[in-house]
């Protein structure tokens, strides 16, 4: 006997359904504050070791965490190789910040030095020019200020790198010498730290060859900013396309709201289940965005573009189709998520976790939020 579900869209209080996705959004925004960045966005070191070790990923993770004194390393094992990702070393990360500040002071110093030279040449031609004299004195003062900043930044950098390289002496009045010291100290310290990490790993896992890639927190922040721009541009393009299709602001807003809320729900779940935000999880978010737009556009087209039956019947028809589509995807990613936990595969865990929890949120957001907004709009338009 087939069980027939009642059409929820005939409810007199259908507009109150909107409170559910809104509440879900607010809760997810609060939870998402606990998201952590992985090495690809927060900075870190990724190594690929060619090895025939029989240790499990969890065993390697425990040994690496203890030996390298780094919390929650990411381990990916495959036939003949082990991938290890650890957080960036704080001393070297701090030193890089000081080095960037040094470069800024050095650039300013060079610019003021050029101005100072030009004003000096101008005064040789016109010794009584008060304007040129004032500009020359101002440039000289700025040069001295930036030279002081270079010296302070270099001193801080060398102190941060002292666990790896000895503190060098330098002439605080010679910017070129300070530049050479700043660059060589950072390069040598990074090399020393790399050798230390590889040596300690070799004592844990015998390996033949390896690759070593370091991403600084500054690079990670740049990548994160780029990703944010890509997502913003994606939403803008989606808004334009949807507006062209429906030629009305309400369905366009509803669809964008649905897609955005799915992303927010996924971010909240990532914080709860300790899924880091990185290149892998961002791929999952973009995949989720595609799923979300599919169901949202499905609801909009069924309710607004078709004419058979009442808007409530069309909304319910879209609901049944959408639930079938989403449930199939939830089942597939649920299986992948379970496998990733059992087999300890971080890449699958991140992608499957993001899409799985996002799709669960999509059911509530699309059919109690997006579809309801479009339904109310369709009924008002029909009365007009």
Q: How many domains does the chain have?
A: 2
User: Given this model, what pLDDT does residue 1 score?
Assistant: 42
122 part of a folded domain: yes
Give Dmax (Cα) for the chain: 105
Dist. CA 158–CA 170, nearest whole Å = 11
226 lies in the same domain as 363: yes
Neighbours of 280 (CB within 10 A): 19
Measured CA distances, 171 to 174, 178, 186, 232, 281 (Å) = 5, 7, 18, 48, 48
User: Given this model, what pLDDT does residue 261 score?
Assistant: 93
241 lies in the same domain as 376: yes
User: Given this model, what pLDDT does residue 383 score?
Assistant: 62
Dist. CA 55–CA 175, nearest whole Å = 52
Q: Does residue 246 sit in helix, strand or coil?
A: helix
Mark which of 167, 199, 231 sits at the end of a domain.
167
Mark which of 143, 167, 191 sits at the end of a domain.
167
User: Given this model, what pLDDT does residue 344 score?
Assistant: 67
Mark which of 167, 186, 204 sits at the end of a domain.
167
17 lies in the same domain as 112: no
258 lies in the same domain as 160: no
250 part of a folded domain: yes
Helices 90-125/130-160 angle, 10° precision: 160
Q: H or E segment at 58?
A: helix 57-68
pTM above 0.75, yes or no: no
146 lies in the same domain as 32: no
Measured CA distances, 348 to 63, 291, 345 (Å) = 23, 18, 6
260 lies in the same domain as 377: yes
Q: H or E segment at 335?
A: helix 311-343
Instruction: Name the percent of the chain in helix, strand, coil, to the closest 5.
Output: 75, 5, 20
The three-state DSSP-derived secondary structure of 160-208 is HCCCCCCCCCCCCCCHHHHHHHHHHHHHHHHHHHHHHHHHHHHHHCCCC
147 lies in the same domain as 221: no
Query: In a structure prediction context, what are the per-residue pLDDT tens digits for the chain, which is 384 residues long?
Result: 445 678 888 888 888 999 999 999 999 999 998 887 777 777 788 888 888 888 888 888 889 988 888 877 888 777 778 888 888 888 998 999 999 999 999 999 999 999 999 999 999 988 889 999 999 999 999 999 999 999 999 999 999 999 999 988 899 999 999 999 999 999 999 999 999 999 999 998 989 888 888 887 777 777 888 888 888 888 888 888 888 888 888 888 888 899 899 999 999 999 888 888 887 888 899 889 888 888 888 888 888 888 788 888 998 999 999 999 999 999 999 999 888 887 767 788 889 999 999 999 999 999 999 999 999 888 887 665
226 lies in the same domain as 361: yes
User: Nearest-CA neighbor of 354 among 296, 268, 242, 243?
Assistant: 268
110 lies in the same domain as 31: no
Distance of CA 176 to the CA centre of its chain: 37
User: Nearest-CA neighbor of 258 among 303, 223, 294?
Assistant: 294
73 part of a folded domain: no
251 lies in the same domain as 338: yes
180 part of a folded domain: no
The three-state DSSP-derived secondary structure of 294-306 is HHHHHHHHHHHHC
Dist. CA 4–CA 121, nearest whole Å = 92
The CATH code of the domain that includes 236 is: 1.20.1640.10
184 part of a folded domain: no
Q: Which domain holds residue 143?
A: 93-167
User: Which residue has 């449930």 as its token pair?
Assistant: 327
Beta carbons within 8 Å of 114's beta carbon, 6+ residues apart: none
Dist. CA 373–CA 376, nearest whole Å = 5
User: Given this model, what pLDDT does residue 360 score?
Assistant: 93
Q: H or E segment at 104?
A: helix 90-125
Q: Does residue 214 sit in helix, strand or coil?
A: strand
Distance of CA 65 to the CA centre of its chain: 24
257 lies in the same domain as 366: yes
Dist. CA 304–CA 378, nearest whole Å = 6
User: Given this model, what pLDDT does residue 31 score?
Assistant: 92
201 part of a folded domain: no
77 part of a folded domain: no
Neighbours of 168 (CB within 10 A): 14
């Amino acid at each position: 006997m087939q069980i027939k579900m009642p059409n929820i869209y005939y409810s007199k209080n259908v507009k109150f359904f909107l409170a559910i996705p809104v509440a879900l959004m607010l809760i997810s925004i609060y939870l998402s504050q606990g998201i952590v960045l992985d090495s690809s966005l927060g900075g870190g070191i990724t190594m690929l070791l060619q090895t025939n070790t029989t240790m499990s990923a969890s065993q390697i993770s425990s040994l690496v965490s203890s030996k390298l004194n780094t919390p929650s390393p990411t381990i990916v094992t495959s036939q003949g190789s082990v991938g290890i990702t650890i957080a960036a070393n704080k001393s070297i990360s701090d030193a890089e910040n000081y080095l960037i500040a040094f470069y800024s002071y050095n650039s300013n110093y060079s610019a003021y030095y050029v101005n100072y030279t030009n004003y000096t040449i101008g005064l040789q031609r016109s010794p009584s020019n008060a304007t040129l004299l004032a500009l020359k004195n101002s440039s000289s003062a700025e040069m001295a200020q930036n030279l002081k900043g270079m010296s302070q930044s270099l001193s801080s950098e060398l102190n941060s790198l002292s666990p790896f390289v000895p503190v060098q002496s330098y002439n605080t009045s010679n910017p070129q010498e300070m530049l050479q010291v700043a660059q060589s100290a950072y390069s040598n310290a990074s090399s020393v730290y790399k050798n230390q990490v590889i040596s300690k790993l070799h004592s844990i896992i015998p390996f033949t060859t390896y690759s070593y890639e370091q991403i600084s927190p500054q690079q990670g922040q740049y990548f994160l900013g780029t990703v944010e721009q890509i997502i913003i541009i994606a939403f803008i393009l989606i808004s334009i396309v949807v507006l062209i299709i429906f030629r009305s602001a309400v369905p366009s807003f509803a669809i964008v709201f649905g897609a955005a809320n799915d992303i927010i729900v996924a971010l909240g779940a990532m914080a709860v289940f300790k899924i880091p935000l990185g290149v892998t999880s961002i791929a999952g978010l973009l995949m989720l965005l595609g799923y979300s737009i599919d169901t949202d556009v499905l609801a909009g087209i069924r309710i607004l573009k078709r004419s058979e039956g009442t808007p409530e019947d069309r909304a319910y028809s879209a609901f049944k189709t959408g639930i079938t589509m989403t449930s199939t995807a939830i089942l597939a990613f649920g299986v992948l998520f379970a496998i990733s936990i059992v087999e300890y595969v971080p890449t699958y865990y991140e992608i499957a976790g993001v899409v799985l929890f996002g799709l669960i949120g999509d059911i509530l957001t699309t059919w109690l939020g997006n579809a309801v907004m479009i339904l109310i709009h369709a009924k008002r338009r029909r009365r007009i």
